[in-house]
């Protein structure tokens, strides 16, 4: 398993990468949820992880799988906020 994305995210976190309050992260979720169905598809999350962290598709997919706790293939707001918090802190 390649954890390069996790390592890269850790480096960004230590260097003051992208952070946000819970309200800011929730707002970001709402912006990304273009169809307003309450979940983000893997493609939506993958694009954010690639743009924000520079992850490749495989590492972004791995991060999505790690935080998709209900295993529905998508990230709901709680899962997305957990992912964001783990990457960038509260």
Question: Is the distance from CB of 59 to CB of 10 less than 8 angstroms?
Answer: no
Full set of structural domains in the chain with CATH: 4-88 (1.10.238.10)
Residue 12: the pLDDT is 40
Question: Is the distance from CB of 13 to CB of 89 less than 8 angstroms?
Answer: yes
Q: Give the list of residues 6+ apart from residue 62 with CB closer than 8 angstroms, or none.
A: 1, 2, 3, 5
| 45-64 pLDDT per residue, tens | 999 899 988 999 999 999 99
The pTM (predicted TM-score) of the whole model is: 0.73
Task: Give the three-state DSSP class for 79.
Answer: helix
């Amino acid at each position: 398993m390649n954890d390069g994305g996790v390592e890269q995210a850790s480096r960004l976190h230590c260097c003051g990468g992208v952070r946000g309050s819970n309200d800011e992260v929730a707002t970001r979720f709402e912006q990304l949820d273009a169809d307003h169905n309450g979940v983000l598809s893997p493609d939506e999350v993958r694009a954010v992880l690639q743009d924000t962290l520079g992850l490749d598709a495989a590492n972004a997919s791995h991060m999505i799988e790690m935080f998709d706790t209900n295993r529905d293939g998508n990230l709901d707001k709680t899962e997305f906020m957990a992912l964001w918090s783990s990457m960038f802190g509260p």
